[in-house]
Amino acid sequence: MEKSKSDLEILRHSTSHVMAQAVCELFPDTKLAIGPAIEDGFYYDFDTQNTFTPADLPKIEEKMKQIVKGHHKFIRTEMSKNDAIEFFKKKNESYKVELINDIPYEKVSLYQHDTFIDLCRGPHLESTKEIRYFKLLSIAGAYWRGSEKNKMLQRIYGTVFNTKEELDAHIKKLEEMKRRDHRILGKALDLFSVHDEVGPGLILWHPKGALIRKIIEDFWKDEHLKNGYQLLNTPHIAHLEMWKTSGHWNFYRENMYSPIDIDGQEYMLKPMNCPFHIMVYKSHLRSYRDLPIRYAELGTVYRYEKSGVLHGLMRVRGFTQDDAHLYCRLDQLEKEIIDVIKFVIFVLKTFGFNEYDIFVSTRPGNSVGDLDHWEKATNALKKAIEHTNLTYQIDPGEGVFYGPKIDIKIKDCFGRSWQCSTIQVDFNMPNAFKVEYIGEDGKPAQPVMIHRALMGSLERFFGVLIEHYGGAFPFWLAPVQLRILPISEAQIEYAGKIKKELGDYRVEIDSRNEKLGYKMREAQIEKIPFILVLGEKEQTSETVAVRKYGENTTQTFEIIKFLDILKSLEKK
């Protein structure tokens, strides 16, 4: 399996070189940046006077096909760094020169096929004849080396597979992903919007979206109370000094907004909730008998994201985190982590996510705290996962500055991974804030702090939900669960009776003077789980004609039997 994945990566990287050659031949002023293989495809970044448009992609594809038919071998050569710098200077490839200057070795490798030669580690295919089933997909802007301080380049994305069937299946999947794009569905279903007048990355929740959010939040709060958590609410700003004490000012400043002057003192919009929860803990003297203490908050935080990475609900500047902080003794740590893992899995499964990638992220280079504490924290995370029989991978150096963490990345219906759930163990912030409890020996002791989020950002989680379900939410989450369509005015009174019998379900009656077919199509577009059609026949027999979303047939039920069906669809 791994070999197959590696072979596909080599195929994709080789195809990116062929695409780069095609672009350079069609647009001779082009300078080359980088062109790696990525998951599901490849891209190359170009600096050119020409502004690429979708109409250019078929031309580039055709040129690529001509190159591939030449059956050119990929030939590897080596050069000294100095010779390579001179070589690319003569070709006016300034980006390659910059890359070579950063390479720590005395020699670099180049690959050539046909007349095209590029700086590259490789490996590559033996020949271009192995490249057969490819397609160029899209064009995007990309700053050189990801920095807004650098020039904006043009990036062309493409994909390639070993068989036509695999390529066709992938293109079909991409088309379905476009149809499910949460930004498109968010507008079509009237769930949320983003406005330049408000500011990029700041979400406005519309009534239907806000109703779904309320359902999610109510579920979240109820389950936390059942699991021994206490709910908090904290401010959106705080003194700059608090963020200095927590370490965020030193380690997280690039993601924080500028200080706000209030009465001559500096305040910050909060990027995190943890220091506030510490202050609540410190408001009372705590005993070892009080631990563990579990605080939870749906806290809105603000983080600076570059405009180029903002993406609907998935990457925003203001979001609500389903945050919690647990304070426990060292002997309680492993059990608390186990319980959090089980809680995470329960919540994710409730929303329909049953597949995950789990990582233990270890100490980063820019960290604080005692190495012994880091080791104890990392071992506790590993043992807790092993206790739950879940498989995990080590993600070296990807912990947060104050501690190691477990990241649980959910997989959606397309197999894409999304970072949502996280569990972090922290010895350092309790030390920085002098957080204590009175131990069994009557002496002050320091608790261990667990930072955790089950869904992560509510905005991102909602965006993933939209795309996972294509906007057709599970019955318990749908903002409108049932719509009643009386065929004529004669059934309006009966419609009111049925709505009353449906009780607390979210029901609308569409009594407009429109054709039934039109109203049914509209309900289907809005992805309402059930349409109840009431005509003279249903009124006489005291039944309902039910059409489920996505189906073309209608079934007739007595209302009491239909209520049993709805009950089976409620959240388990």
The full 3-state SS of 259-297, as one line of letters, equals CEEECCEEEEECCCCHHHHHHHHCCCCCEHHHCCEEEEE
CA dist., res. 466 & res. 488, Å (int): 34
CA dist., res. 490 & res. 372, Å (int): 77
Q: Are residues 554 and 435 in the same domain?
A: no
User: Which H or E run contains 42?
Assistant: strand 41-47
Q: Measuring CA to CA, which residue among 161, 459, 439 is closest to residue 286?
A: 439
**CA distances (Å), 521 to each of 46, 469, 515, 517, 524, in order?**
46, 19, 10, 6, 5
pLDDT (tens, 9 = 90+) of the chain, 572 residues, equals: 344 558 999 999 999 999 999 999 999 999 999 999 998 999 999 999 999 999 999 999 999 999 999 999 999 999 999 999 999 999 999 999 999 999 988 999 999 999 999 999 999 999 999 999 999 999 999 889 888 789 999 999 999 999 999 999 999 999 999 999 999 999 999 999 999 999 999 999 999 999 999 999 999 999 999 999 999 999 999 999 999 999 899 888 989 999 999 999 999 999 999 999 999 999 999 999 999 999 999 999 999 998 878 899 999 999 999 999 999 999 999 999 999 999 999 999 999 999 999 999 999 988 888 888 899 999 999 999 999 999 999 999 989 888 999 999 999 999 999 999 999 999 999 999 999 999 999 999 999 999 999 999 999 999 999 999 999 999 999 999 999 999 999 999 999 999 999 999 999 999 998 999 999 999 999 999 999 999 999 999 999 999 999 998 999 999 999 999 999 998 75
pTM of the model: 0.88
- What ranges in 103-180 are assigned the alpha helix state H? 164-179
Residue 157's domain is classified under what CATH number?
3.30.980.10
Q: Are residues 425 and 540 in the same domain?
A: no
Q: Are residues 125 and 198 in the same domain?
A: no
Q: Does 222 reside within a domain?
A: yes
Q: Does 255 reside within a domain?
A: no
DSSP for 384-452 reads HHHHTT---EEETT-SBTTB-EEEEEEE-TT--EEEEEEEEEESHHHHHTT--EE-TTSSEEPPEEEEE
Number of domains in the chain: 3
565 Cβ partners below 8 Å, 6+ apart? 557
Buried-exposed string 288-308: b where 16+ CB fall within 10 A, e elsewhere? beebbbbbbbbbbbbbeeeee
Tell me whether residue 206 is one of the annotated catalytic residues: no
Q: Does 175 reside within a domain?
A: no
Q: Which of 154, 321, 424, 491 is catalytic?
A: 321
Q: Are residues 403 and 326 in the same domain?
A: yes
Tell me whether residue 499 is one of the annotated catalytic residues: no
Tell me whether residue 413 is one of the annotated catalytic residues: no
Are the beta carbons of 552 and 571 closer than 8 angstroms? Answer: no
Q: Does 245 reside within a domain?
A: no
- Of 418, 446, 469, the residue at which a domain comes to its end is 469
Q: Which of 323, 407, 412, 426 is catalytic?
A: 323
Residue 365's domain is classified under what CATH number?
3.30.930.10
Q: Are residues 196 and 340 in the same domain?
A: yes
Are the beta carbons of 541 and 534 closer than 8 angstroms? Answer: no
Q: Which of 155, 277, 382, 451 is catalytic?
A: 451
Domain encompassing residue 486: 482-568
Q: Does 253 reside within a domain?
A: no
Q: Are residues 465 and 486 in the same domain?
A: no
In the DSSP assignment, the letter for residue 229 is -
Q: Which of 270, 405, 460, 468 is catalytic?
A: 405
Tell me whether residue 12 is one of the annotated catalytic residues: no
Q: Which of 63, 124, 248, 303 is catalytic?
A: 303
Residue 315: helix, strand or coil by DSSP? strand
- Of 445, 469, 493, the residue at which a domain comes to its end is 469
Q: Are residues 89 and 120 in the same domain?
A: yes
CA dist., res. 551 & res. 486, Å (int): 20
Q: Does 551 reside within a domain?
A: yes
- Of 469, 503, 528, the residue at which a domain comes to its end is 469
104 Cβ partners below 8 Å, 6+ apart? none
Q: Are residues 216 and 310 in the same domain?
A: yes
Structure tokens at 499: 């709505």
Q: Which of 72, 213, 315, 325 is catalytic?
A: 325
Tell me whether residue 331 is one of the annotated catalytic residues: no
Tell me whether residue 239 is one of the annotated catalytic residues: no
Tell me whether residue 284 is one of the annotated catalytic residues: no
Q: Are residues 419 and 496 in the same domain?
A: no
Q: Does 465 reside within a domain?
A: yes
Residue 535's domain is classified under what CATH number?
3.40.50.800
- Sign of the Cα torsion 411, 414, 417, 419 reads negative
Q: What are phi and psi of 33, to 5 degrees?
A: -110, -100
Q: Are residues 431 and 541 in the same domain?
A: no
Q: Are residues 430 and 553 in the same domain?
A: no
Q: At what angle do helices 94-102 and 81-90 cross, to 10 degrees?
A: 170
Q: Does 129 reside within a domain?
A: yes
Q: Are residues 463 and 517 in the same domain?
A: no
